Amino acid sequence: ATSLRSIKSLAPLLDRILVQRVKAEAKTASGIYLPESTVEKLSEAKVLAVGPGGTDKEGKRIEVSVKPGDRVLIPQYGGSPVKVGDEEYHLFRDHE
């Protein structure tokens, strides 16, 4: 994992997308707090930054399909982890 001081200093290249996994609720609807070991990782993430997009065989730019602020579903495994302080982020390709 890469270690940075500020996530704002990271700019994805080409068709890469920087996301942060959404944390699951640690409290039930009735107000009972769940222990951390029972809370699963969600496959949902918030897009923080996107690259300018990749290029095709003719050199034309292919736009990224999401924009910052979107909520997306991500695979359980994969991506490149990026750690900033105690927070963990992931870089994925647009097609993932």
Decide if pLDDT at 35 tops 70.
no
Dump pLDDT digits (tens) for 5-26. 666 667 777 888 888 887 766 6
Dump pLDDT digits (tens) for 38-96. 555 667 888 888 888 888 888 888 888 888 888 988 887 778 888 877 788 888 887 77
Which is nearest to 67 in space by CA: 89, 48, 80? 48
The residue length of the chain stands at 96
Residue in this structure with the two tokens 């996107």, named with its chain if needed: 50
Structure tokens at 80: 């490149």
| Model pLDDT, residue 84 | 78
Q: Is residue 50 classed exposed, middle or buried when 0-12, 13-18 and 19+ CB atoms within 10 A define those classes?
A: buried
- Give me the CATH code for the 11-24+34-93 domain, please: 2.30.33.40
What residue ranges do the domains of the chain occupy?
A: 11-24+34-93
| Model pLDDT, residue 37 | 57
CA separation for the pair 67, 14 (Å, rounded): 14
